[in-house]
């Protein structure tokens, strides 16, 4: 789970998200959902994030906004 989290520190900071042991799994599921990759497929999720989402500034901003919104709605 979440093998790519260490690469997303800047994204989490931009979204104002603090990852903890309590919310890590929910955040991981949310990232998979936003990326459109089945849950627990870490390699495919990181590949899609790196190649398609984070490499394009507009897509990156949209991803950060969606992630921020989703995490704020978490219990």
pLDDT tens profile 1-52: 568 999 999 999 999 999 999 999 999 999 999 999 999 999 999 999 999 9
Which DSSP symbol is given to 5? G
Range of the domain at 63: 5-72
Longest dimension (CA), the chain: 31
For the chain, the C-alpha Rg in angstroms (whole number) is 11
Phi, psi (degrees; rounded to nearest 5) at 3 = -65, -20
Angstrom distance (rounded) from CA 63 to CA 55: 11
With beta carbons less than 8 A apart as the criterion, state whether 41 and 17 touch: no
- The pTM assigned to this predicted structure is 0.91
pLDDT recorded at residue 73: 83
Number of domains present in the structure of the chain: 1
Angstrom distance (rounded) from CA 64 to CA 67: 5
């Amino acid at each position: 789970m979440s093998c790519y989290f260490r690469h997303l520190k800047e994204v989490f900071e931009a979204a104002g998200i603090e990852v903890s042991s309590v919310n890590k799994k929910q955040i991981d599921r949310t990232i998979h959902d936003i990326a459109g990759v089945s849950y627990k497929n870490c390699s495919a999720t990181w590949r899609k994030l790196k190649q398609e989402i984070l490499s394009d500034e507009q897509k990156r901003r949209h991803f950060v906004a969606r992630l921020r919104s989703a995490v704020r709605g978490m219990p």
